[in-house]
Amino acid sequence: MENTRRKIPDFFKAYRPEYSSQRMHVPRAFLAQLDGPLPGEILLRHRMGRQWHVKVTLEAQDAYFEDGWQEFVRENLVETNDYMVFSYQSPGVFRVVIYGHSACEKKECALPGEVGEGSEVQEHDSDDDDEDYNEEEQEEEEDEGRSKRSKKEGNVEERKAANEDPTNVKRYIDLKNPYFVTVVQALRSSCLYVPRSVLIDYELKLPQAVLFHDPTGRTWRGTVKVWTDRRTWITGWGALCRHNNLKINDRCICELLEENGVTDRIIKVHIIGGNST
């Protein structure tokens, strides 16, 4: 009689950056279903065929996905409150399906490597925007500390994310302008994520070509890309981060300005905790 391998039940995790951005805890109930401990390295497979090598750390009765987990999160565009379902296909191999805020499966993932992360420009020229870049490569940057502004009421309300250190935003920007705060979480990221809440709260529609202004006066060209799930990314961010020697957990206030009647074509970047204060 042919031996059939026992089916190990799937498990799911809701993504919370405060608990799972650096490593992910594997449920004890799942571990109890296994015939032995997880191997020291496992494979996480995306439905599109890509896979990530992730180290497993064992601590007493607990197991954690660690080295390689951050890349998996970033390259699969995992956001707060996304649900991830893990299916144990064979020893050390998981198939992962990710469900987004729409309750539907998220099928896209970023491609490996970096291509043309923006170019420095000497003047504000919106016609020269032909740099190469990879549309699917972007940053799983968690954008904290967004502000809300009601145009109908004509006021600005400063809002801090729960895990953001207090920042004196008034010191850096004109509060009449739209803005949001982003936290650097990956040094190799090429794109800036624009929080959807900012676009909705300020009733913004970004132009296709934008310019980043860094604190030293340099200007970096960016291109706005909107994904099918309506998330908005801007290329050129990685070049600005590298030239300003930004480090992980540095905070940047992104202030959206108007130039020549075009709203939000200029993004003035105020670096908190980097080379500029």
Q: Is 131 domain-assigned?
A: no
The pLDDT score that the predictor gives to residue 169 is: 83
Predicted TM-score (pTM) of this structure: 0.45
pLDDT reading at 142 higher than 60: no
Q: What is the mean pLDDT of residues 9-13?
A: 95
Q: Is 51 domain-assigned?
A: yes
- Name residues whose C-beta falls within 8 Å of residue 101's C-beta, 6 or more positions apart in sequence: 79, 81, 82
Please give the Cα distance from 60 to 234 (Å, whole number): 43
Any alpha helices (H) in 215-268, and if so which ranges?
Answer: 237-243
Are 178 and 91 within one domain?
Answer: no
Between residues 228 and 139, the one the model is more confident about = 228
Q: What is the mean pLDDT of residues 118-138?
A: 37
* Cβ atoms 140, 78 nearer than 8 A: yes
Between residues 187 and 190, the one the model is more confident about = 190
> What whole-number percentage of the chain has pLDDT above 90?
29
Please give the Cα distance from 240 to 39 (Å, whole number): 40
The pLDDT score that the predictor gives to residue 135 is: 40
**Helix H or strand E encompassing 30:** helix 28-31
Q: Give the CA diameter of the chain.
A: 78
Are 94 and 182 within one domain?
Answer: no
Q: Is 155 domain-assigned?
A: no
* Cβ atoms 156, 261 nearer than 8 A: no
The pLDDT score that the predictor gives to residue 267 is: 94
Which of the listed residues 77, 99, 121 is the one where a domain comes to its end? Answer: 99
Q: What is the mean pLDDT of residues 42-56?
A: 87
Q: Is 224 domain-assigned?
A: yes
The pLDDT score that the predictor gives to residue 31 is: 95
**Which of 16-30, 53-67, 97-111 has the weakest average pLDDT?**
97-111
The pLDDT score that the predictor gives to residue 109 is: 56
The pLDDT score that the predictor gives to residue 75 is: 81
Domain count, the chain: 2
Indicate the length of the chain as a whole number. 277
Q: What is the mean pLDDT of residues 94-108?
A: 85
Q: How far is CA 197 from CA 136, 182, 232, 237, 272, in A?
A: 22, 13, 11, 20, 22
pLDDT reading at 8 higher than 80: yes
Q: Is 114 domain-assigned?
A: no
How many helices (DSSP H) and strands (DSSP E) are in the chain? 5, 17
Q: What is the mean pLDDT of residues 148-173?
A: 50
Q: Is 90 domain-assigned?
A: yes
pLDDT reading at 265 higher than 60: yes
Which of the listed residues 99, 127, 146 is the one where a domain comes to its end? Answer: 99
What CATH number corresponds to the domain at position 227? 2.40.330.10
Provide the domain limits for residue 33: 11-99
Q: What is the mean pLDDT of residues 49-63?
A: 91
Residue 211: helix, strand or coil by DSSP?
strand
Q: How far is CA 172 from CA 69, 200, 253, in A?
A: 35, 23, 8
State pLDDT tens for residues 203-224. 888 888 889 999 988 888 888 8
Residue 19 structure tokens: 């608990």
Which of the listed residues 51, 73, 99 is the one where a domain comes to its end? Answer: 99
Q: Is 37 domain-assigned?
A: yes
Q: Is 60 domain-assigned?
A: yes
Are 95 and 176 within one domain?
Answer: no
Strand order in the sheet with 93-99: 11-14, 83-90, 93-99, 41-46, 51-59, 62-65, 24-26
